[in-house]
Amino acid sequence: MSKIYQDYFYDVNGFDTNDGGYKPLVRPKVDPRPLRIPELLKPDQETATDIYYTVCAQSGETAILPGEKTKTWGYNDTINGKTIVFPVEKRIHVTLQNRLPELTTFHWHGLHVTGPEIDGGCHAPVYPGEDKKIEFTLNQPASTNWLHAHPCPATAEQIYHGLATMVYLTDQHQTQLNLPQTYGVDDLPIILQDRTFHEHNQLDYRADYDPDGTLGNTALINGTVNAYFDVTAPKVRLRFLNGANRREWRLHFDNDLPFKQIAGDNSLLPHPIEMTKLMLTCAERAEVVVDFSQFKPGDEVNLYTDQTVILTFRIKDFTDTQETTVAPELLTIEKPKVDPATPVRKITMDGMDEAVMMNHKKFKMDRIDAKQPVGLTQYWDIVNTNGRRGGMIHPFHCHGMSFLVISRNGKDPYPNELGYKDTVAVNPSETVRILVRFDLVGLFMYHCHILEHEDGGMMAQIETFIPGQPRKHYDLMTMDKLMKAFAEERGIAQDQLWLPGMDSYHKMHMEM
């Protein structure tokens, strides 16, 4: 624990700042405003064994900039959404409501729930005006996850409108650790996104669309620009989520103030990692604890990505006196054994711009690309086939399970990726080996989490099964069926329809 890591670990050559289409962030010239802390979603009902929620996808208007409000979408809110808390010990029941003008899906990113229906990928549309009920029990550790839209090929556009919110899993182990855990006081959700505002303060996704990942010029933190937070506790836990379409966040504080990363995507880390810099690629989460005790009331500590201030911590009297600690041991993780006879699954992430593919194919909704028995532990080698020069970092994500990062080009993983993860970023020309085991029968998507890459076809799906049992039948949707529905909902002919992934298929002369 004595070492303080001082670098971003990743290959500088692959950073998004090298992209031809890179848009630097500009700090908006508006008065600082308090960081928006989403309300906690109230359960409809809770018993000793069960908890019930209603999650509603809705449209609304949000005051983001001075002047006109911005038209946005959210879950039980006008932008992003209320924070959802699932205790892993209980049976969870959720009513999904779609009050948007078009179909959407509700994807539980990071949750071990079965696909394709409950998981909420592209095969599980909820149509406008429809209510759908799902229920599940979780068997995984406390962690910071998220809910987002995932319809093909319009994931990027719907998330850009605001459909992304935090989902916390809680368990007894984590509660007993005495980490900062007072929501909104010393335990904060931090959703990192970027948007460009056009005339009348509106978003224009199509105008800003980039097949290599859409960037905005303004940082939006929980839907707030130029945000500050008043610090009233000496130690503050920040739960970062990279909810951006494409942007990588390279986070650091004034004067390289060190902080401790305590958790990654799907669990606590075995031990806290002390660092001054943290890079998050799309969909990744990191929980960190920052110790402000050396500061006095009136001081300010800025959080940056690269050279841009994105959030200011204003130090107040430490009136929140709840003692918290970061223990040196956080979670015991046992690496399951792999039978040497089990073949290694190889997955390639290929191309850039419209040419993106996975294992040299574009995604097809009614094609199952791989199969794996439930309970089998298998190595997957995730290969980024982009060139070392001019290539980009692709964040690989798989639904329905958590994995462990085993190696990067045969070398040790980064010190802050030793917990359970569902998203791992792969440098250009790198092979990342992960250890994968599914515990649920189902059909699960895996893909690059740059949103325009997944819509553009850098995606595939895997079926899990119990050997010897009859195979489940899945009624798979097709892209055509979804696009027909989108066109109808928008009141246009299908040949007038434009959705983010379509150009990538058309330019490559590939059928959707």
- Name the minimum Å distance from CB 447 to Cu ion: 8
Closer to Cu ion by CB, 290 or 451: give it: 451
**Distance of alpha carbon 392 from alpha carbon 210, whole angstroms:** 14
Write the binding mask 28 to 57 for Cu ion: x where contact by CB under 5 A, - elsewhere.
Answer: ------------------------------
Q: How far is the CB of 268 from Cu ion (least distance, A)?
A: 28
Amino acid at 57: A
> Closest CB to Cu ion among 113 and 450?
450
- Say if CB 161 and CB 72 are below 8 A apart: yes
C-alpha 119/C-alpha 429 separation (Å) is 31
Nearer to Cu ion, 225 or 358 (CB): 358
* Identity of the residue, 301 or 448, whose beta carbon is nearer to Cu ion in the bound complex: 448
Pairing of strands 107-109, 143-148: antiparallel
Residues 6+ apart with CB under 8 A from 169: 86, 87, 88, 111, 138, 140, 141, 142, 143, 144, 145
Q: Which is nearer to Cu ion, 295 or 380 (CB)?
A: 380
Residue nearest to Cu ion (CB): 448
Nearer CB in complex with Cu ion: 19/439: 19
Q: Which neighbouring-strand residues pair with 96?
A: 55, 132
What is the sign, positive or negative, of the torsion defined by CA atoms of 484, 490, 494, 499?
A: negative
The minimum distance between CB 448 and Cu ion, in angstroms, equals 3
Give the x/- contact pattern for Cu ion in 377-406, rule: CB under 5 A.
-----------------x------------
CB 207 to Cu ion: min, Å: 22
User: C-beta of 43: minimal distance to Cu ion in Å?
Assistant: 37
Cβ-based nearer residue to Cu ion, 227 or 349: 349
CA distance 227 to 189: 13
Q: Which is nearer to Cu ion, 102 or 455 (CB)?
A: 455
Spatial separation of the C-alpha atoms in residues 432 and 382, rounded to whole Å: 5
CB of 250 to Cu ion, least distance (A): 18
- Binding-site size for Cu ion (CB under 5 A) equals 4
Nearer to Cu ion, 126 or 347 (CB): 347
Distance CA 506, CA 508 (A): 5
Residue 362 interacts with Cu ion (CB under 5 A): yes or no: no
Q: In angstroms, rounded to a whole number, what is the distance separating the alpha carbons of residues 323 and 312?
A: 23
Are residues 299 and 315 in contact, defined by beta-carbon separation less than 8 angstroms? yes
Q: How many Å apart are CA 119 and CA 10, to the nearest integer?
A: 30
- Strand 308-315 and strand 227-231: the pairing is parallel
What is the contact mask toward Cu ion in residues 423 to 462, using x (rule: CB under 5 A)? -------------------------x-x--x---------
Backbone angles phi, psi at 159, to 5 degrees: -70, -40
Provide, rounded to whole angstroms, the least separation between the CB of residue 208 and Cu ion.
18
Residue 389 neighbours by CB under 8 Å, 6+ apart: 13, 428
Q: Taking the complex as a whole, how short is the minimal distance between the CB of residue 438 and Cu ion, in angstroms?
A: 23
* Cβ pair 378, 342 in contact under 8 A: yes
> Among residues 90 and 394, whose Cβ is nearest to Cu ion?
394
Chain positions 53 to 72 lying near Cu ion, rule: CB under 5 A, are: none
Q: Which is nearer to Cu ion, 186 or 354 (CB)?
A: 354
Look at the alpha carbons of 420, 426, 432, 437 in this order and tell me if their dihedral is positive or negative. Answer: positive
Q: Which is nearer to Cu ion, 163 or 450 (CB)?
A: 450
Residue 212 CB coordination number (10 Å) = 22
Query: By C-alpha distance, which of 281, 264, 307 is closest to 16?
Result: 281
> Which residue lies nearer to Cu ion by CB, 244 or 450?
450
Q: How far is the CB of 246 from Cu ion (least distance, A)?
A: 9
Rounded Cα gap, residues 83 and 228, in angstroms: 20
Two structure tokens written together for 314: 């204003």
**Alpha-carbon distance 482 to 149, whole Å?**
14
* Residue 361 DSSP code: B
From residue 188 to residue 207, what is the string marking binding to Cu ion with x (rule CB under 5 A)?
Answer: --------------------
* Shortest Cβ 145–Cu ion spacing (Å): 21
Terminal CA-CA length for the chain:
50
d(C-alpha 3, C-alpha 416), whole Å? 13
* Least distance to Cu ion, CB of residue 453, Å: 3
Q: Which residues bind Cu ion (CB under 5 A)?
A: 394, 448, 450, 453
